[in-house]
C-alpha cells in the first residue's frame, strides 16, 4: 500500500513563472491538505480539499490555487512565483471522517531563482 506520493521531488523555477505540484493520497483517504514549509520553519497550512472542493484555506494569496480530482489526487498551482515562494511543499492526506489524522508525503522542494 503506497503512502502519500508527491511529484516532482525537486523543482527549479524563475520569478514570474507558474508551477504545478502533484499529490496522490494514501489509499482510502479522500482529504488532501497542502502546506508550505520554509527552511527552519514549521509547515504553514495553505488549503484543504475534499469532495473536489476547497474546504478550508490558510493565509495565502490567490496566487496559490488547487484542484482535487475524482480519484482524490490533488494539484497545487502557484502563479507569478516570487523568491519567497521557495520552500518545501508538503501534501497530507486524511481518511474520510478523520481529518485530524494526517499522513504526509515527502514533499516537493521548490527553488525560485
Partner 1 sequence: KNQVEQSPQSLIILEGKNCTLQCNYTVSPFSNLRWYKQDTGRGPVSLTIMTFSENTKSNGRYTATLDADTKQSSLHITASQLSDSASYICVVSGGGGGSYIPTFGRGTSLIVHP
Q: Is 102 in the site for partner 1 (CB under 8 A)?
A: yes
Q: Is 4 in the site for partner 1 (CB under 8 A)?
A: yes
Q: Which residues contact 98 (CB under 8 A, 6 or more apart)?
A: none
Shortest Å, Cβ 16 to partner 1: 27
Phi, psi of 84 (to 5 degrees): -70, -5
**Residue 82, CA distances (Å) to 18, 72, 77, 85 in order:** 10, 29, 13, 5
**Nearer Cβ to partner 1, position 36 or 85?**
36
**Nearer Cβ to partner 1, position 60 or 79?**
60
**Residue 43, CA distances (Å) to 39, 46, 73 in order:** 10, 9, 20
Part in contact with partner 1 (CB under 8 A); list of ranges 11-19, 63-71, 76-84, 94-102: 94-102
User: Binder to partner 1 among 12, 82, 83, 101 (CB under 8 A)?
Assistant: 101
φ/ψ region of 84 (left if φ > 0, alpha if ψ in -120 to 50, else beta) reads: alpha
**Nearer Cβ to partner 1, position 26 or 72?**
26
Q: Which residues bind partner 1 (CB under 8 A)?
A: 4, 35, 40-45, 48, 56, 58, 88, 90, 92, 99-107, 109
Amino acid at each position: 500500500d503506497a503512502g502519500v506520493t508527491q511529484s516532482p521531488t525537486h523543482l527549479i523555477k524563475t520569478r514570474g513563472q507558474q508551477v504545478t505540484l502533484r499529490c496522490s493520497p494514501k489509499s482510502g483517504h479522500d482529504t488532501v491538505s497542502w502546506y508550505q514549509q520554509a527552511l527552519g520553519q514549521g509547515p504553514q497550512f495553505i488549503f484543504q480539499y475534499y469532495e473536489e472542493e476547497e474546504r478550508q484555506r490558510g493565509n495565502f494569496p490567490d496566487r496559490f490555487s488547487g484542484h482535487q480530482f475524482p480519484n482524490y489526487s490533488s494539484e497545487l498551482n502557484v502563479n507569478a512565483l516570487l523568491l519567497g515562494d521557495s520552500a518545501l511543499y508538503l501534501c497530507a492526506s486524511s481518511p474520510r471522517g478523520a481529518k485530524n489524522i494526517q499522513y504526509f508525503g515527502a514533499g516537493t522542494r521548490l527553488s525560485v531563482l
